[in-house]
Structure 1
């Protein structure tokens, strides 16, 4: 799995029959026709995807298993082949197989989660709201980098325009995630009450005591960001009472 070019050893694993004993989900993909890649079966697509990734065991396993749920979810609707919810089914299959192969629990958890999330990017080209972008990043959590690498590798089309479009969309998504994260960081640096609110609350004018109150509010925002406005006001009232001479 960590070879510079994993494709030859993976094909050897399948063609020799060893995969039927070690990871039978892999040769099962040879029978599945992917409607998005009509010229190749899902096995060929899967190995091509693995070969596009850097030699990292989590990433390689995630790409190897990202479509294993397709055989169990294949159906025909109005003459079209569909694989509804194959990511969720594949995640369960991945967890079971990797555990049987005695991979560390952390690897099993990360890879199965990446398989579950592998289809989340679909639809981004149609336009996502900021809330949808935040949800994607939140669901991926510490696996966000891996997930985006998987999405990039999953494009094996020979159509250069389509391939370039996908890379552009992932670039755009990553830029939006970074921009939204920076906005949230900056928002967290602002207290919930400003100087005018402090002065109005306590009937005072500009002065050092207001500055100290704002410093307290900023520290409160940094250390307890979950506090809402009423809770913040209550904490400020307590602080104010204690710090008046």
Structure 2
């Protein structure tokens, strides 16, 4: 959330100031820039909340609505704010913002990778947890379609998600990873044969296979991270892991 276009200059400014010592001059331009940075950050947060409300309500939105409802006096900064909000929706919540009416700038919010799971928890939790499921699917894809449990938790720790610890966005992760999404048939969670003590691994479940592909999962993570994906067409369209891998 800190990686939007105007944050770098702010960080560099404060860093250089720390190195050179306190700025005793602190002119009005600096104060104005600081206030603008804070205002744009706050507007970005409001934009994300606005898009989440639209997702939950299954309603489209338009550029005009976003300008009048959220952006208001910062309309010159709409491209940066909207771009950063879209990236946050993808990375954190696993939600794509799709433009369906270019001339009218109309947008629908849909689950990433073509998944039908909406991620809105029945306990009234505020945020959808689809982003965690999308992350799990591409972690498994990267691990040759069979991910050891320890590799999964290692990858999720980068997001601040830990086994047995409630997460403010995703809720209790183990419950969803080993039970809810297994029951939903997005994941297979099984013991690795001939392991003592027992170790476990994750695979894609039949519903994941039916709704998306490993190629889409890998392209998704490369796209949202702005990496070069020129090699991806050579990848197989579907997961290679055999359900009878250990038979």
Is this a same-fold pair by TM over 0.5?
Answer: no
- TM bucket (normalised to shorter chain) is under 0.3
From the two aligned structures, give the one with the greater helix fraction: 1
Tell me the TM-score normalized by structure 2. Answer: 0.26
From the two aligned structures, give the one with the greater strand fraction: 2
In terms of Rg, which structure is larger? 1
